[in-house]
Amino acid sequence: MSTAADYLHPLLSVKPKIAVVLGSGLGAFADSLDNAQTIPYHDIPGWPQSTAIGHAGKLVGGTVEGIPVAALAGRAHLYEGYTAQQAVYGIRALHELGVESVILTNAAGGVNRDYKPGDLVLISDHINLLGQNPLSGPNDGSLGPRFPDMSEAYNKLFRATAKAVGAEMGLNLVEGVYAAVPGPSYETPAEIRYLRTIGADLVGMSTVPETIAANHMGMKVLGISCVTNHAAGVIDQKLNHTEVLEVGERMKSTLIGLLRDLCRTL
Ligand code: HPA
């Protein structure tokens, strides 16, 4: 076992089946778990610390109506100076603990002109523009194959289930392609036009390393983007992180409701 899994295994009173990774400003779900056990990242051996504003930096184990869940409030990004390998440390540790499915959430800019701040979009596929891959280097065959398939990186059945669960809550969950960029500067309008041309609907600075590592290990992934802003140049307005966090805060109860229903259903 990795040192993190070794540390967490005796500590967690639940054996999580589902992990939920919470993006910028979207951490509130972690505090909604029943029988919650909070473990700060700085207590877990080897775990990258969250330095980004809006990321609490804690693992919360608990249940949602009896379903054992681990929530990660805060993740490691490449713009913090972490490598793609470090960014997937947590997801690999959770896999060792028995997690089979992961819900990855993020805050994203809307590249698709139909999206508006506050929309929740199911990620159908991604474009990796990070310039890094967490699987670079020698392959650990105990985790997965050298050349893992990525043709359904975001599980189709999970997306269909999420649409049905969302519809029951009155949400119209559409699907979109997420482009991951390294950041931390936001994109220029020209870069957003480029992303739209190559087929992206959403842009953000996370999620893709975790999706790659999860697929490598045979885990099923559901990706949910919270559109926090129109991407650069879509409207005549400058971008800032405060706005991103504010929209995340505004979406708090909707997202908690959706994530709780998904934990029960997936
Ligand atoms: N670009 C990149 N990442 C983001 C954005 C954006 O517009 N909004 C939230 N995360």
Question: In whole angstroms, what is the distance from residue 182 CA to residue 202 CA?
Answer: 14
Residue whose CA is closest, atom 5 of ligand 1? 109
Question: What's the maximum distance between 2 C-alpha atoms anywhere in the chain?
Answer: 53
pLDDT of residue 242: 87
Catalytic option among 50, 55, 213, 217: 55
Catalytic residue list contains 1: no
What is the predicted pLDDT for the residue at 265? 93
Q: Which residues pair with 59 in a beta bridge?
A: 39, 72
Pocket test for ligand 1, best of 186, 196, 206 (most atoms within 8 A of CB): 186
Q: Whose CA is nearest to atom 6 of ligand 1?
A: 109
Distance, CA 159 to ligand 1 centroid (Å)? 22
- Residue 1 has a pLDDT of 62
> Per-10-residue mean pLDDT for the chain, 266 residues long?
88 95 88 94 91 80 95 94 96 96 96 96 98 97 97 98 96 97 97 98 98 98 96 86 85 92 94
- Return the CATH fold of 2-265: Rossmann fold (3.40.50)
Ligand 1 centroid to Cα of residue 106, in Å, is: 9
- How is residue 216 written in tokens? 């490598």
- Specify which residues 21 forms β-bridges with: 72, 104
Distance CA 57, CA 59 (A): 7
User: Tell me, what's the pLDDT at 2?
Assistant: 74
- pLDDT at position 196, please? 98
φ, ψ (nearest 5 deg) of residue 197: -65, -35
pLDDT of residue 234: 82
Going from N- to C-terminal start, the domains of the chain cover: 2-265
55 catalytically annotated: yes
